Amino acid sequence: MATLDIPAATREKATLAPGNGGYAVKRLTLTDFRCYRHQRLEADKGPVVLTGPNGAGKTNLLEGLSFLVPGRGLRRAKLSDVVRRQQGNSAPSGSWGVAASVHSPRGEVEIGTGFEAGRAGGRDKRIVRVDGETVKSQAVLAEHLSALWLTPQMDRLFLEGPGSRRRFLDRLVFDSDPAHLGRVNAYEHAMRERMALLRANGDKAWVETLEDTMATRGVAVAAARLEATRRLGEQLKESTGAFPRASVEAAGTVEDWLREGPALAAEDRLRAALAARRADDVAEGRAAIGPHRSDLKVLHLGNGRPAALCSTGEQKALLVALVLGTAKMRAYEQGTAPLFLLDEIAAHLDEIRLQALFDEISGLGAQVWLTGTDAGLFAPLAGRAQFFAVNDGTVTPQDSG
């Protein structure tokens, strides 16, 4: 019966799903990265389980992996804060690095990233290397690796203000549309410059130029969010098994304009709104209209309730559904399932859901990195996963689960 409910398009997609088409980190090296002085770790394509007490360095290791894709990593840290601090040294100086051998369906690649204090005039600038060559932009990393993560900090995603949901949405968009990060950055940069210029009562022609950039980039940001949520919604309404079906919506004024008419009209409306609101925006300290105010609305289709009204367990399951849906989208469309970084994931998932999650992820051929304080929670993975003990900034392979 259940199979009859699956639309033909999905059945077709499912046969395209690559069983071994995921990315995998085969070797990871962390140097002066948070609590790690120099740590090397070898893994194969299977799940990696990291267990150890609080403060051992588990999240730090996942954060290291998260720096292998563009962005600020899973803690959104300042690059200079990541440098290992020695005891009693509160003002760290120096550099950190993360390097990895990445396996993908296209082959093996060595990628590395890091930070050197004092370089580039002391600016917080990432250094990125691919196969030993320094590349100009961190955006290049997206060509070699994709990663999605869930952390305990994200447990409050549906209860917080829209900012973290917007960032979460942008990361999902970015996973299948790597140009998205550049769009968001260009928009936000123009927005900050406009505000500074307005406050300084600066050149009107330059304000107009910045508003034009905000209008074109801003509408592109909103359009990419609409498109990604539309495709993700297709995945999520069909999703079965242990995770809830869900609907997702990119909600905001510019998104509404795009639903009403063409992109050029939305650009004109945003340009006009910005020009009309200069004094108000200065008074309020921020631009009132634009995709920097948008939200991600999620509905639990099982109980019909908005995510914010769901239980903690339901919210966690929704988050997993969203991330799994994004990974499936990428696996089906591009043949490369992202790396999964799941920090303390077992805390809000029962054993059945945990098992279902493992099965879904291995079905996609994606490598998953899991952490937890309680090794017992990962017992179902014995024989299938690689287990490591993390203690005081040192990672040691374990014999078995």
H or E stretch covering 389: strand 386-391
Cα distances from 203 to residues 178, 207, 276, 283, in angstroms, run: 34, 6, 16, 18
Residue 34 interface partner, choices ligand ADP, Mg ion, none, CB cut-off 5-8 Å depending on type: ligand ADP
H or E stretch covering 248: strand 246-251
Q: Which amino acid is it at 374?
A: D
CB burial of residue 149 (10 Å; 0-12, 13-18, 19+): buried
Residue 60 interface partner, choices Mg ion, ligand ADP, none, CB cut-off 5-8 Å depending on type: ligand ADP
Nearest-angstrom CA–CA distance, 329 and 321: 12
Q: Binding string, 196-235, against ligand ADP, x = CB under 6 A?
A: ----------------------------------------
Pick 15 or 54: Cβ nearer ligand ADP: 54
State yes or no: residue 34 binds ligand ADP (CB under 6 A). Answer: yes
Residue 19 interface partner, choices ligand ADP, Mg ion, none, CB cut-off 5-8 Å depending on type: none
Positive/negative CA dihedral, 349, 355, 358, 359: negative
Find the shortest distance in angstroms from Cβ 87 to ligand ADP: 9
Find the shortest distance in angstroms from Cβ 142 to Mg ion: 26
State yes or no: residue 369 binds ligand ADP (CB under 6 A). Answer: no
Contact 233/247 with Cβ under 8 angstroms?
yes
Residue 57 interface partner, choices ligand ADP, Mg ion, none, CB cut-off 5-8 Å depending on type: ligand ADP
Find the shortest distance in angstroms from Cβ 144 to ligand ADP: 25
The β-bridge relationship of strands 368-372 and 339-342 is: parallel
Pick 47 or 325: Cβ nearer ligand ADP: 47
DSSP label of 86: P
Pick 109 or 389: Cβ nearer ligand ADP: 389
Q: Position of tokens 């994004």?
A: 326
Q: Binding string, 77-96, against ligand ADP, x = CB under 6 A?
A: -----xxxx-----------
Q: Restricting to residues 36-65, name those near ligand ADP by CB under 6 A.
A: 52, 54-60
Q: Position of tokens 């720096």?
A: 67
Find the shortest distance in angstroms from Cβ 65 to Mg ion: 13
Q: Which amino acid is it at 244?
A: P
Pick 56 or 289: Cβ nearer ligand ADP: 56
Contact 203/259 with Cβ under 8 angstroms?
no
Secondary structure of residue 54 in the 3-state scheme: coil
Q: Among candidates 77, 74, 108, 131, which has minimal Cα distance to 340?
A: 74
Positive/negative CA dihedral, 376, 378, 380, 383: negative
How many residues interact with ligand ADP (rule CB under 6 A)? 15
Contact 81/124 with Cβ under 8 angstroms?
no
Find the shortest distance in angstroms from Cβ 39 to ligand ADP: 12
State yes or no: residue 59 binds Mg ion (CB under 5 A). Answer: yes
Nearest-angstrom CA–CA distance, 401 and 383: 7
Cα distances from 89 to residues 55, 84, 133, 232, 266, in angstroms, run: 18, 10, 33, 46, 52
Find the shortest distance in angstroms from Cβ 32 to ligand ADP: 8
Find the shortest distance in angstroms from Cβ 61 to Mg ion: 9
Q: Which amino acid is it at 20?
A: N
Pick 65 or 128: Cβ nearer Mg ion: 65
Pick 153 or 164: Cβ nearer ligand ADP: 153
Find the shortest distance in angstroms from Cβ 373 to ligand ADP: 7
State yes or no: residue 389 binds ligand ADP (CB under 6 A). Answer: no
Pick 13 or 58: Cβ nearer Mg ion: 58
Q: Which amino acid is it at 190?
A: A
Residue, CB closest to Mg ion = 59
Q: Position of tokens 């769009």?
A: 183
Strand ranges for 252-304 from DSSP E: 295-300
Find the shortest distance in angstroms from Cβ 157 to ligand ADP: 19
Residue 146 interface partner, choices ligand ADP, Mg ion, none, CB cut-off 5-8 Å depending on type: none
Residues 6+ apart with CB under 8 A from 34: 57, 60, 63, 64, 82, 84, 96
Q: Which stretch binds Mg ion (CB under 5 A): 13-21, 51-59, 91-99, 105-113?
A: 51-59
Find the shortest distance in angstroms from Cβ 393 to ligand ADP: 7
Residues lying near ligand ADP in the complex (CB under 6 A) are found at 34-35, 52, 54-60, 82-85, 390
Residues lying near Mg ion in the complex (CB under 5 A) are found at 58-59
